[in-house]
Structure 1
Amino acid sequence: MSKTIIQGTVVTPPNLDSEEAVNEYKDTGATFQSTFINVVNTIIGAGILSIPSSIHGTGLIGSLLLLVMACLFSICGAFFLIVSAVYTKKDSYGDIGQTLYGTTVRNISIITLILYEVGVSTAYSVILFEQVLDLLSVWGGFNSATLWRNRWWITYVATLLFSVPLLCMKSLDSLRYTSFGAVLCIFLFVCISIYLGVTQLVKEPLHYNLFPSDSSQTAVSMTIFSSALCFHTNIPKMVRELKYPKATRFATKVHKMFRIGTTAAISCTSLYYIVGAFAYFAFGNEIAGNLLTNFQHKGFWYLEIVKFAYALVVIFSNPVIAFPSVYVIDKVLFKDERNWRRRLAESLLWCTVIWFIATLVPQLDVVFSFTGATGGILLLYVLPSYFYIAIVKRVRKKANSAALSLLGPSWLYWAAHCLIVATLIEGCISIVTQIKKLTGSS
């Protein structure tokens, strides 16, 4: 077998001379249904609270176009990453980068993944802490001022009780039941949003923008939509855990995982738009960056039920979101298999860091704008495309028919280049726009 020296690192390409080597048949593992549920849970979550605000900023038609574009870009990035995971047989961004390019890309991938998931986990924790304090006040009868003064230790206790135990799980597939619970809870939120939107339309329609009122908002909303459609961070691990027996209707493991990802992405895109549009119908220009703020201002009788349901969504979703980072940190520090003590210690450390940050950055739209414009762009589009380009070059050089079956149409090679350029430009524009917005400059 040949070896390629890249950036001072000896990289041994995988041996894919047979169909069985390409597909890596596996009679046990995560099923189609359990993987689909975990993908949906990875996508839906805190992002749904910032979508209505983005729809307000970009308009009903403009946001629909941007959401569709973000979905297409997300699906392309997912395909490139699925191919990369199957080809390299690695279960993390860092290991894929190491195999294809060497140590430098490995380190960039790991750092980007951790920073991105710190941002997303922070957004989830912000929501959870708000709901915990509010529910303790309403259902527990505690004084709001007292809760606020003691919020540091109260929210940390909530972190220890709700976040750490689930993040200790050994595999992503073991979180399928909590993912199913999260999906069930989110439907309550969806139904209420639709009800409020229809009620307002029947009573007295408000003023609604059809297109962006501010051109600078477009790039920011695009990165928020992209961040809200991210399940890519879990793809390498999901591919590794996915059950793929010889008796299957899918031609390759790539096809099976891509079917799961595409179905989930399209479903969640539709759900995002429905929730966002009807929430915009309900609140119009008064829509807040965090939709639960609008619910609270209106004082709906079912407010606490919604808060409790969404707290459950966050509790059940956060472990799926943070799992790749905690897993890769363990892989960097240790070489042997994780035991329960290491999983507990790593989960405790991760959740403590997130708890601290969440108390300092409570603005959900700020968190999602910056994470989407920085780490999100790299993880969803740039790195998957970069990996795919390297694989295409290698496979075409060998002219291996078994490996060629993984790559898809030939035009995807050039599409990967275009995706890198387009999304990097988008990310730069969004970062500049967000900085100007925060500093108050014109």
Structure 2
Amino acid sequence: MNKAPAKTEMSHFNTPPETDSNEYTSYEDCRTKVPLNGLQYNDVDAESQNFLPDHHLGKKKYEEYSTGSASFGMSVFNLGNAIMGSGILGLSYAMANTGIALFVILLVCVAIFSLYSVHLLLKTANEGGSMVYEQLGNKAFGIPGKLAASCSITMQNFGAMASYLYIVKYELPIVIKGFLDNPDANMWYTNGDYLVLIVTVSIILPLSLLKNLGYLGYTSGFSLLCMVFFVIMVIYKKFQIPCPLPEDFINITTNNTVPPQHNATDENCCQPKYFVFNSQTVYAVPILTFAFVCHPAILPMYEELRDRSRKRMQSVANVSFLGMFVMYLLAALFGYLTFNEAVEPELLHTYSRVYSFDILLLIVRFAVLIAVTLTVPVVLFPIRTSVNQLLGASKGFSWPRHICITVALLVCVNILVIFVPTIRDIFGFIGASAAAMLIFILPSAFYIRLVKKESMKSVQKIGALLFLILGFIVMIGSMTLIVLDWIHNATASETHTNGN
């Protein structure tokens, strides 16, 4: 669910001894080297060798192999889980504000761009000699490059953590009301803000204070299973909820932030739109980039891949992205066809307007709540590691520092969740900033800087340069339009308040 695993350092690779052939690729296992032709050579001094040979590579294509333990299928599953996250809940909202045809075009483009970004990242890792995103930034641009990568990953993880707590804020009150005799009663224990604080203090904080997250594997598999269950539920409910919607559904305003252009119970609302342009269309691309970003997880998974090669890892990415593309399209399409213009930024919450109590929805909500609650400490882990490195990289483990950083991060994310009005703003801001950096800007910039064997006039470098320019256009354009929309909404709200 947009999670970034703990950083891992890759063992140093060695260059093969001088021979008449330069078709060698090697790995260090303290015993042997394995060239491509299958012959073995005795290892040389590991401490004096570089990760990859940096001179006289010739025209041969180098690929490295290692003793990684993850199979192709397991790697596809792990990467799919890294891609799949809370962003899937906002895709129907994006489709409602772009139309079916425009949404599919954007979804295909973002998926292809993300795969191209993976290609650049893998090739840069081979040439740059590192399997850690921040180290590639350091090799490419020094401290500024390392900080850019670290800050982008931290922002992405922080946004993911906030989106998970938003789900708690939206869904836990509905689950509790489902067990009450009077579900319309507004008690303190059905207030989402209070519940977020209670869940954070009682569950998330104790788990986050652990030094090691041994339950990571179980949480990851369960999270992906919950999202698959969610997609199945969305498809099933499309054929149960009537169109036009029930009369009491009129209380939902179209897109939550703009006045409805159509009556939600009007027959005209049952006609799907193929191209839509309005003030909320600007959120579509950031929501999609937020949903597809998984790039901090690519290199650690590449390192763990059995019989590792760049081509094999690219195939893993292709299969994973294809699977997530299908799931995203199904969730967005059937969610949109169910509610049309009345869909909310968080799709699961929209169903509460139709059903006061539904056992299937209750099970889905409960499963998603468990998954996101257990995932918050996993996402917090790499953020705390980065902050800890900045504050005390040369110091040993300190419980006071460990506790203070954890509490400070959870306080900040809770403040954000309580005071920012909608999850749409998190999807939009993080998708337009950190996700755009991780998908477009950083991989292409690192590629241009570190891949020396290709000239700037080559097709590959020109493509990376155009991709870099596209990234800046997406980031600056999306951020500008989102901020303008915030200003417009704030002004409209103030005018409405003064008018009353």
Alignment match, 2:297:
234
The 1-side partners of 2:335 and 2:88 are apart by 11
**Which has a greater percent of helix?**
1
The answer (yes or no) to whether the contact 1:186–1:313 under 8 Å persists in 2 is no
Paired residue for 1:209, among 268, 273, 285? 273
The answer (yes or no) to whether the contact 1:126–1:362 under 8 Å persists in 2 is no
Shifted more, 271-280 versus 160-169: the winner is 160-169
The 2-side partners of 1:144 and 1:338 are apart by 49
The 2-side partners of 1:78 and 1:337 are apart by 35
Deviations 1:97-140 (CA, angstroms, capped at 9, x unpaired): 11222111112222222223222221111112333333334337
2:104 matched to 1:64?
yes
Alignment match, 1:405:
none
Q: TM-score, normalised by structure 1?
A: 0.81
The answer (yes or no) to whether the contact 1:185–1:312 under 8 Å persists in 2 is no
The answer (yes or no) to whether the contact 2:115–2:318 under 8 Å persists in 1 is yes
Q: TM-score, normalised by structure 2?
A: 0.72
Paired residue for 1:146, among 188, 192, 196? 188
- AA of the residue aligned to 1:367: I
Paired residue for 2:365, among 295, 303, 307? 307
The 1-side partners of 2:428 and 2:441 are apart by 17
Alignment match, 1:357:
416
Shifted more, 109-118 versus 326-335: the winner is 326-335
Alignment match, 2:145:
105
Higher Cα radius of gyration: 2
| C-alpha displacement of 1:171 | 7.8
Q: Cα–Cα, structure 1 residues 357 and 218, in superposed 2: closer, same or farther, change >3 Å?
A: closer
Name structure 1 gaps, 5 residues minimum.
Answer: 1-12, 398-409
Q: Cα–Cα, structure 1 residues 71 and 16, in superposed 2: closer, same or farther, change >3 Å?
A: farther
Alignment match, 1:376:
435
| C-alpha displacement of 1:159 | 2.0
The 1-side partners of 2:209 and 2:66 are apart by 25
The 2-side partners of 1:134 and 1:307 are apart by 9
Q: Cα–Cα, structure 1 residues 14 and 412, in superposed 2: closer, same or farther, change >3 Å?
A: farther
Paired residue for 2:315, among 259, 266, 291? 259
Identical-pair percentage: 22
Name the SS of the counterpart of 1:289 in structure 2: coil
| C-alpha displacement of 1:355 | 2.2
The answer (yes or no) to whether the contact 2:83–2:293 under 8 Å persists in 1 is yes
Alignment match, 2:332:
276
| C-alpha displacement of 1:77 | 1.2
The 2-side partners of 1:256 and 1:162 are apart by 39
Q: Cα–Cα, structure 1 residues 170 and 390, in superposed 2: closer, same or farther, change >3 Å?
A: farther
Alignment match, 1:79:
119
| C-alpha displacement of 1:54 | 0.4
Name structure 2 gaps, 5 residues minimum.
Answer: 1-11, 17-23, 28-51, 53-62, 245-266, 493-500
| C-alpha displacement of 1:70 | 0.4
Alignment match, 1:439:
487
| C-alpha displacement of 1:193 | 0.8
Shifted more, 90-99 versus 420-429: the winner is 90-99
| C-alpha displacement of 1:336 | 6.8
The 2-side partners of 1:285 and 1:193 are apart by 16
Q: Cα–Cα, structure 1 residues 220 and 155, in superposed 2: closer, same or farther, change >3 Å?
A: closer
| C-alpha displacement of 1:15 | 6.8
The answer (yes or no) to whether the contact 2:156–2:430 under 8 Å persists in 1 is yes
2:78 matched to 1:20?
no
2:182 matched to 1:134?
no
The answer (yes or no) to whether the contact 2:92–2:335 under 8 Å persists in 1 is yes
Q: Cα–Cα, structure 1 residues 388 and 211, in superposed 2: closer, same or farther, change >3 Å?
A: same
The answer (yes or no) to whether the contact 1:48–1:228 under 8 Å persists in 2 is yes
The 2-side partners of 1:438 and 1:66 are apart by 23
Pick 1 or 2: higher relative contact order, CA cutoff 8 A, min separation 6: 1
